[in-house]
A and B are shown apart, each in its own frame.
Chain A
Amino acid sequence: MIGSFLRVAWHVMRKDLTVEVRSREVLFTTLFFAVSVVLVFSFAIVREGRAPDDVAAGILWVAISFAGTLAMGRTFERERYNDTLRALILAPADRPAIYMGKLLGLLLLMLLVEAVLLPLVALLFSAPILAFPVHLTLLLTAGTFGFCAVGTLFAAMLVRVRSRDTLLPVLLYPITIPVMIAGVRGTAALFQAAPDEPMARFWIGLLVFWDAVFVTLALWTFEPVMTE
């Protein structure tokens, strides 16, 4: 039962990654968009060649959230354009497993983007990313996972809706604010001159709980919402 769920999720994820590896379209566009966001915010905030303290974490997470929104929109747009979404829904597989597969595919994509974004932010703002690498990785993974969990559900919901491009951020951002708060505060705690490790651990714990609750809710909700 859990085995079949994981198998379907794995197949859906593999399909998404195969398509992405061949075209690399979403990866490159998302990556360059994220870098542009970091640059725009840097120009907006940096004054006299120096950035105010603590902006690195904020800018990083803003870039992640903007780029993530685009990436999830693009992934489902590709399904809609090729009409493969109907095939997915019609497939004799557990719908929540399909959701999981798409979520994992999106998560992997975003983690790749962040792998490039993090060193860039560290370079531009002299942030100590090597001080607590494990904590930082956990924080980014947990935060991105939570963001993508809600986003995958909403993007799937909106795929046939007319104003989906503007409605996705409108729906997504208010609901993922706790993730943003946790991510930014946790990252800021780690980027401080004297890193606050217990604080970071607290935010990571909160993120894990939040992720568990919302992935569970998404798994329950995916079926009734997508039955159209």
Chain B
Amino acid sequence: MNRVTRVVRPIGRVGQWAQAVVQVMVLLIALAIPASVDATQPQPPKEFVPVDEVPPGEQIPAINLVAAAYGFVWLAVLGYVWSIARRLKTVETELADLESRRR
């Protein structure tokens, strides 16, 4: 039990700076390892080769996709704005109510 309580000693600002420096140096040394190994690695292929011809049965008209994309954006943004407006109104009335009660 006494051995544990002897463990504690406040370290002060110099000690804290030293700790930070040691940690940064450990990080830099650790970084050297993957950096050195990475240099020797073969690079993965760069270009994506898209599916050339999607079979006719699976093709979706572009306008559907574009409409769906824009529609989603509109709905999501409007929904969020509406949600914030509603909550803001509730909180502001509550706040006004509480402040008037305080006076």
Say if the two chains contact directly (CB < 8 Å). Answer: yes
* A contact residues, total (Cβ < 8 Å): 23
Q: For A209, give its contact among B4, B19, B31 (CB under 8 Å).
A: B31
B85 on the A face (CB < 8 A) = no
Given known A1-B18, A198-B40, A216-B27, contact A205–B34 (CB-CB < 8 A) = yes
Binding stretch for chain B, among A3-11, A55-63, A75-83, A168-176: A3-11
Set A4, A92, A205, A216: member contacting B37, Cβ < 8 A = A205
Q: A205-B36, A209-B30, A209-B34 are in contact. Are A92 and B5 (CB under 8 A)?
A: yes
Counting CB contacts under 8 A, is B2 at the interface? no
Residues of B with C-beta under 8 A to A198: 37, 40-41
CB-CB contacts below 8 Å: B21-77 with A = 22-23, 26-27, 30-31, 33-34, 36-38, 40-41
With A4-B7, A92-B8 as known contacts, state yes or no: A208 contacts B15, CB within 8 Å.
no
B89 close to chain A: CB less than 8 A: no
In contact, B30 and A212 (Cβ under 8 angstroms): yes
Closest CB-CB distance, B98 to chain A, in whole Å?
26
Alpha-carbon distance A18/B30, docked complex (angstroms): 32
Whether B15 lies near A7 (C-beta < 8 A) is: no
Decide: A201 and B19 in contact? CB cutoff 8 A.
no
**Chain A residue with the shortest CB-CB distance to B28:** A212
- What is the interface of chain A mostly: helix, strand, loop, or mixed? helix
Contacts of B31 in A (CB 8 A): 209, 212
Known A205-B33, A205-B37; contact A4-B9, beta-carbon cutoff 8 A: yes
What would be 24 A-B contacts, judged by CB atoms less than 8 Å apart? Answer: A1-B11, A1-B15, A2-B22, A4-B8, A8-B4, A11-B4, A11-B7, A92-B5, A93-B4, A93-B7, A94-B8, A198-B37, A198-B41, A202-B34, A202-B37, A202-B41, A205-B33, A205-B37, A205-B38, A206-B34, A212-B27, A212-B31, A216-B26, A216-B27
**Interfacial residues, chain B to chain A (CB-CB below 8 A):** 4-5, 7-9, 11, 15, 18-19, 22-23, 26-27, 30-31, 33-34, 36-38, 40-41
Binding site for B on A (CB under 8 A): 1-2, 4, 7-8, 11, 91-94, 198-199, 201-202, 205-206, 208-209, 211-213, 216, 219
